[in-house]
Structure 1
Amino acid sequence: MKKKMDKMMMISTAVCLLPILLSLIIYDRLPDQVVIHWNAAGEPDDYASKAFAAFGLPFILAAINMFTHFMLNNDPKRANSPVALKLMGKWIVPVVSVIMIPLSLFTSMGVDAPIARTVPAAVGIMVIACGIYLPKCRQNYTVGIKLPWTLDSEENWNRTHRMAGYLWIAGGVCIIVVSLLGVWTGQAIPVIIGILVLVPVFYSYMIYRNGI
């Protein structure tokens, strides 16, 4: 099992580094400053040197990916996490690398990419997928809503994740609808994400206060 996990880590790390091949091909055509971040409305709001964007970011994401695998593989309660949720955790960084870095490079070269719609919609799909599996996630230290109260009480953990599952599915659908309509995207999506984060925390705390 350990060999299989190590093999998956090596493959996913290699995927993180794949954009370097594209960078080598188009490097001379990149501007000196490359966009590396967009706000919720899909507007560029941060830039970096083309050397960092083309070569530095893939290595940073590869390091993050290796750390993620290490944490997931060494969780004492890793057997409690749904396999699908752990796979999502292990592959989210490579997917981000092979999608976002090329988008960053091509956008900086003047290619028109529908960032404001495609990226939030993809986030919405991921939120829905997490919502589906959250209720199936038993107590562990790396995957799920890890709060002092959920980690202290299995009943609190189960109730919080069951509620959060429904909430995240609804929130993911809202994110997709807002992103496709393109209406108030910059204002609505941060509010939705804030609700998805804060409501489970408040709910778990209230359960704790009620002695559960």
Structure 2
Amino acid sequence: MINFRKQTLITTTLVCLLPIVLGIFMYSDLPDQIPVHWNAAGEIDNYMSKPWAVFGLPVFFAVINIISIVAITNDPKRQNQSKWMKRMIIWLVPALSVILIPISLLVSIGIRISVPFVVTLLVSILFIVIGNYLPKSRQNYTIGIKLPWTLHDADNWNKTHRVGGVCFIVGGIILFISNLFQLGKQTGFLNFIIIISTIVLMVLVPIIYSFVLYRKDQS
């Protein structure tokens, strides 16, 4: 198990650092400022210096990856974690690194990519997948809907995660459909409102449901 953890940690960290290779290859063609953030209308609203974008961002992702894997693999209740969700969380940060950083570099040299569309598409698919596997995760301290009431009672955890799974699937489908109808700046703000509203409901509904279950059991 220790060897497996070390191998996973090393492999995923190296994947996080892969964009550095692309950055070095493109370095002479890159502008001094690299776009790293887009607003609701799909317009670039924040930049990062070339050295930081090429070298700093992959290192940042690598550090986040190390922290997340150490937390997941040292959970006292890790045996209850959904195996698929565990794999997904382990590979999520490396996937973001090899997708998002190259997109920023390509956009900086003039290649047209609708970054908000791509990101929302990926997030919607991620939500649907999470919703499918969320009910299969049992009580643990790192993966799932970790509330005082779900961690206190296994039945509350299981019921809340079934409801949360439905919320994530429905929310993911809504985001996926709304993203397909995104037509550019004219609908960018509306799409942003839909995204925020959907995510807020996805978070609040399981929390409220869990609290209601807890209060009902206390009465």
Cα deviation for residue 40 of structure 1 reads: 4.3
CA shift for structure 1 position 108 = 1.6
Does residue 202 in structure 1 map to residue 208 in structure 2? yes
Q: Distance in 2 between matches of 1:60 and 1:206?
A: 39
Match of 1:131 in 2: 131
4+ long deviations beyond 4 Å: none
Q: Distance in 1 between matches of 2:40 and 2:204?
A: 19
Report the Cα distance in structure 1 between the residues aligned to 2:85 and 2:41, rounded to whole angstroms: 28
TM-score (structure 2 length as normaliser)? 0.93
The 5-angstrom pairing of residues 36-115 of structure 1 reads 36-115=36-115
Unpaired stretches in structure 1, ≥5 consecutive residues: none
> For the residues of structure 1 that align with 2:65 and 2:99, how far apart are their CA atoms?
15
1:128, 1:143 → 2: CA distance? 16
Task: State the secondary structure of the residue aligned to 1:143.
Answer: coil
After superposition, give the CA deviation of every residue in 1:52-97 in whole Å (9 maximum; x if it has no partner).
1111000010011011110011000001011100001000000000
Measure the CA separation in 1 of the matches of 2:79 and 2:44.
41
1:48 maps to amino acid: M
Question: Which residue is 1:193 aligned to?
Answer: 199
Q: Distance in 1 between matches of 2:78 and 2:39?
A: 34
**Counterparts of 1:97 and 1:42, CA distance in 2:** 20
Equivalences for residues 14-33 of structure 1 within 5 A: 14-33=14-33
Aligned partner of residue 48 in structure 1, secondary structure:
strand
TM-score scaled by length of structure 1? 0.96
C-alpha distance in structure 2 between counterparts of 1:42 and 1:31, whole Å: 20
**TM superposition shift of 1:2:** 1.9
CA contact (8 A) 1:118 1:179 kept: no
Q: Distance in 2 between matches of 1:81 and 1:31?
A: 44
Distance 2:63 2:159 in 1: 34
Q: Hey, what's the Cα distance between the residues in 2 that align with 1:38 and 1:210?
A: 44
Partner Cα distance (1:156, 1:50) in 2: 49
Distance 1:93 1:40 in 2: 23
- Sequence identity, in percent? 45
- How many Å separate the matches in 2 of 1:94 and 1:143? 18
AA partner of residue 195 (structure 2)? I
Deviation at 1:114, TM superposition (A): 2.3
Quote the Cα distance in structure 2 between the aligned partners of 1:41 and 1:3.
46
Query: Unaligned stretches of 5+ in structure 2?
Result: none
State whether residues 40 and 190 of structure 1, in contact with CA within 8 Å, keep that contact through their aligned partners in structure 2.
no
CA 40–143 in structure 1, closer or farther in 2 if over 3 Å, else same? farther
How far, CA to CA, are the matches of 1:197 and 1:45 in structure 2?
27
